[in-house]
Amino acid sequence: MDSKIYNIFIISILFLVIFLSSTPLPIKFFMAAMSIVFFVPKIRSIVFGKKMIQRKIKAAIYTSIIFTLFWLCGITIFYKSLEFENLSLVLFVFFFSLVGNFSYGLSVSILSEFIITKLTSYRVLTSCFVHIGFGLLTYFIFVFELFIFCTSCSIIFFVMDVLLRRKENSPTILQKKMDVAT
């Protein structure tokens, strides 16, 4: 029962963030449509039954933080000084990258995971193409100026997901010592 409440809570928060944002209405509907992946029973059983959703959420958060830090570095390189207005712009960038990563990026990453579970080889390469392909797809969906940012986030999201998956699958030092002892 707690699992169902948790799932409903996560989905409700996701839709709340999408519809309370100040993005144009067509983009909100697109993000909501991508988020409906959570409601498809086959995909939902894959996602919510394992640790994968936690890994994807971590990847989305880390991607937003890393993207914002890269963006902040770019601001400091071009403008040489940080003013309060630039710092508020950093929060703006972080918020919208978080919204984009949780609605569009998370949905694409789950779709990628669903696709690669059927494959036996070239799983990482296929996942890379799906992530970057949907990042490039934003050229046709969103404004051209956002295309570079969306593609950058998709690359960072893919790298973070792969790193977190490897960390999840590799044994810890304590587990290695226990295996040697037995």
The pLDDT, as a whole number, for residue 175 is 58
Each residue's pLDDT tens digit, 129-174: 988 888 888 777 766 777 888 889 999 999 999 999 888 777 666 5
- pTM over 0.85, yes/no: no
Per-residue pLDDT, 34: 63
Phi, psi at 42, each rounded to 5°: -65, -45
